[in-house]
Amino acid sequence: MPSLALNALSLLLGSGLLASVGAVTITLSNFGNGALCTGPVLLTCASIAPNACCDAGVIFDETLFQGLPPTGIGIVYSGSGCTGKATNTGYGLNLCLSRGGKGANWNQVSNSAKRDEKNCTRVLPSTLSIGNRTFNIFGDVPLEVSEDMLSLFNNSRGIAEAPEVPPHFLPHELV
């Protein structure tokens, strides 16, 4: 006969109340199309841990949080490195926040009021998407090329069509 504790644990796991914290992906958009979090040019920070900050050093219009746990909250900040005022927050597995900022992170609901800017790890985007093409950014990509990619993202604000891919981005394309 199963113990009461084992039954309670099975109930929590089955209900999603005790979910394991998986990787959260944060995608930044400049399209400004009314909280759709899409656009022709996107920056993505993959596998973001709680209290890590997706920060490209640029202003963005919309933020998509994918894979938030049931007890997670997505937060967008006015300052780089997830500093300054929280401009928008929300809950949901695939959460789109329309008020932009300079940094975005997520945390467990119980810890959201205990944000510690000194212990927040800055994470640079790992990919830049232009239309249906994706490119590595930062990491092994030369700094000059990564900066050009950020400029393309900055200049994409409000455009509906994907811009032409500069030739020096091509060696960094993910295929």
Answer whether residue 146 is part of any domain: no
Report whether 56 contacts 125 (CB < 8 A): yes
Answer whether residue 25 is part of any domain: yes
Q: What is the pLDDT of residue 44?
A: 96
Answer whether residue 7 is part of any domain: no
Q: What is the pTM of this model?
A: 0.82
Q: What is the pLDDT of residue 33?
A: 59
Domain total in the chain: 1
Answer whether residue 63 is part of any domain: yes
Answer whether residue 54 is part of any domain: yes
Find the domain containing 28 and state its range. Answer: 19-123
Q: What is the pLDDT of residue 11?
A: 33
Identify the H or E element spanning 88. Answer: strand 83-90
**Spans of the chain, pLDDT less than 70:** 1-22, 32-35, 111-119
For residue 60, give the DSSP letter. Answer: B
Q: What is the pLDDT of residue 21?
A: 53
Query: Cα–Cα distance between 143 and 126 in angstroms, integer?
Result: 13
Answer whether residue 116 is part of any domain: yes
Answer whether residue 33 is part of any domain: yes
Answer whether residue 114 is part of any domain: yes
Q: What is the pLDDT of residue 170?
A: 97
- List residues bridging with 75 in a β-sheet: 89, 105
